[in-house]
A and B are shown apart, each in its own frame.
Chain A
Amino acid sequence: MTAIVPVPEQVRTNPRSLHGPPRFDVVHRLVANRRVIAGLVIVVPFVALALFFPVLPFRPPNASSLGDRLSSPSLSHPFGTDTLGRDQLSRTVAGARISIMVGVLAAAISISLGMLIGTVAGYFGGWVDSIVSAVLNVFLSFPGLLIGLLLVAVFGPGVWQIVAAVSIAFTPRAARLQRASVLSMRNRPYMDAARQAAAPTWWILLRHVVPNTVSPMLVVGSIFTADAILIEATISFTGLGIVPPTPSWGSIIKGGQAVLREAWWISLVPAMCLIVFAIGLHLLADGTRQVIDPSEQLEKQR
């Protein structure tokens, strides 16, 4: 009586499809995670404002009106104005645009370079690994901010210079993480199988090694973005990073330091934005890690 239904070829060869496509499953679990949701609620509005700043009805961030200097937050200037009478709301959003761009670019560059270096060192091992690890160790012996300052001393002030300095400063950290995760999978059975089957090295790297390291590196990328924004702000606060009139969160905060007593909002409102945005990125990273690496969650619950 049993009707024999021909199983489609695709379903038979892909056991994952029994539980629906795996990617959909991950998205599902991400959306169910409280930290991910909290992170998104914080991060998305900031990014949207920063992205669409040019088409939104903000005042020009550098338009000064000397009659309105240092006015406290009001309906017409919700974040107040600065020493030149510039609207702090539009400067803070314009600053978000620069700060977030610097953070995302620096994180993307350092993670890409770090994955390249870490993959080579971790997969090939031997003298390549010894040399790479020795160099990484030296770079990691500099306190984070100090290597950033050293590079800024060389590159000079400016947006692109900061991106370069922070990228170089973060690359060793990314490379060390990537090296560790490549090392941990180098001798897994499926890698042995690929090698036994005489798969070319580049194919093994592209098909097995890199895809398996991408999701942990995305988590790291979220943290690196937050850290890069904090480092940019710190370097700009010292006056060596992004310099006026270009607004970044760090340079706006520095601009308000001299009038901190009279007009605290100039410095502290962008500072709050910086902190809240960085918290959002950290929550996003924490939540994503819980989803893609459930072993750690079990560890915590024990």
Chain B
Amino acid sequence: MLRYTLRRLAQLVPTVLGLVVVVYLVLRLAPGDPAVSALGENPTAESVARLRERMGLNQGVIPGLLDYMGGVLRGDLGDSIVETRSVSQIIGDSLPVTIVMASAALVLSVMLGVVLGAAAAYLSSRGRDALDHGLTGGAIVMEATPAFVLGLVGLLLFVLKLGWLPATGIFDLVDIGNTARRLALPVAILTVGSLATIARLARTSILEVLNEDYVRTARSLGESPFAALRGHALRNALLPVMTLSGITFGRLLGGTVVMELIFTLPGMGTTLLKTIVDRDYPVVQGIVLVYAILYVLVNLITDLLYRRADPRVVLT
């Protein structure tokens, strides 16, 4: 397992390097001069020259890229053009909210999804398909519903009409009670958005596994359906769910951007949107890079869990 983990980590290096290259080149090779657009209307030639120097735009693309890569390896993502803080500080301040929100939604939707999926599989095996049909319908609707629409509906119902939860005001992650109240609704909405798809997959794969010989044997030896499921079936049935949860995390990260916007949370999403408007390119680069690395890391973790659950997996 250790060797597998190390080799999987080593495979990550080219991907992360590729991400750095893409993020750097997209903004560097884009039409127009980023220094000019960052300075807004009618910048003086002198200020443009100063900013170009600071952003490292005077060197060629390849030396600039190598510089940027070197910086990333040292944890230095450059400096903001607009603020006095460094890009790493800005990200460090906004990352926790985003991570808490996305991972809470992921854990909740996987756990609830598996429970719902198992219930639907059990009912289906008894010939009652209502829950399955509900999940299928829910999955179709949720695939077609963007997170921001769910967010607006949640805002309208629970904040504006019922007044149960706050959506504005000071946000301090250390104040647990306040944090819980502010994050409850966005996390619930993100969970609702990905729950049905996970539950439907869990149901299908649990039903498949329940037909396997070893489950039948366990049942014929007198195990209850629940014990057979827990002791034999679940572990195999959850493999596809693990893969899906990695993909779901990417969608959830996108979802956190709009949740932060709607519920005024100081995370990476709101920071990203603000810095795109300000044309603060070094921060934009840094934030997109961190999102991508988070996504890659979570997929690494799901891969490792998969391997733990199914040791037959070999590295290709």
Contacts and interface: CB of A to CB of B under 8 A. Distances in A.
A282 B143 contact: yes
Interface residues of B, number: 46
Interface in B223-278: 250-251, 253-254, 257-258, 261-262, 272-273, 276-277
B276 A237 contact: no
Contact of A143 (B148, B149, B258, B292): B292
Contacts of A274: 146, 149
Nearest to A261: B160
Contact of A260 (B152, B288, B296): B152
A251 B152 CA distance: 14
Contact of A238 (B141, B149, B258): B258
A215 interface: no
Contacts of B19: 138, 141-142
B144 A143 contact: no
A154 B253 contact: no
Secondary structure of the A side of the interface? helix
Interface string A246-265: 00000001000100110010
B27 interface: yes
Interface in B290-309: 291-292, 295-296
Most A Cβ at <10 Å: residue of B14, B152, B257? B152
A146 B279 CA distance: 16
Interface in B1-46: 14-15, 18-19, 21-23, 26-27, 30-31
Contacts of B140: 279, 282-283
Nearest to A148: B254
B254 A143 contact: yes
A154 B27 contact: yes
A238 B253 contact: no
A151 interface: yes
Given A146-B292, A274-B146, A260 B155 contact: yes
A141 B296 CA distance: 6
Nearest to B290: A146
B22 A138 contact: yes
Contacts of B147: 234
A145 B27 CA distance: 17
B257 A149 contact: yes
A274 B261 CA distance: 20
Contact of B148 (A237, A260, A276, A283): A237
B156 A146 contact: no
B152 A143 contact: no
Most buried by A among B141, B149, B276: B149
Given A149-B276, A234-B254, A279 B144 contact: yes
A278 interface: yes
B258 A139 contact: no
Interface in A111-165: 134-135, 137-139, 141-147, 149-155
A226 interface: yes
A253 B145 contact: no
Nearest to A145: B254
Contact of A151 (B14, B26, B161): B26
A255 B30 CA distance: 30
Contacts of B23: 150
A164 B250 CA distance: 22
B197 to A, nearest CB: 12
A240 B250 CA distance: 21
A238 B261 contact: yes
A135 B18 contact: yes
B273 A282 contact: no
Contact of B257 (A145, A264, A276, A281): A145
B66 interface: no
22 contacts: A138-B18, A141-B18, A142-B291, A143-B250, A143-B292, A146-B254, A146-B288, A146-B291, A146-B292, A149-B273, A149-B288, A150-B27, A233-B148, A234-B147, A234-B258, A238-B257, A261-B156, A267-B152, A268-B152, A275-B145, A275-B149, A279-B144
Interface of B: 14-15, 18-19, 21-23, 26-27, 30-31, 140-141, 143-149, 152-153, 155-156, 160-161, 250-251, 253-254, 257-258, 261-262, 272-273, 276-277, 279, 281, 284, 288, 291-292, 295-296
* Those 5 A-B pairs whose CB atoms lie nearest each other, nearest first: A145-B254, A138-B18, A278-B144, A143-B250, A154-B30
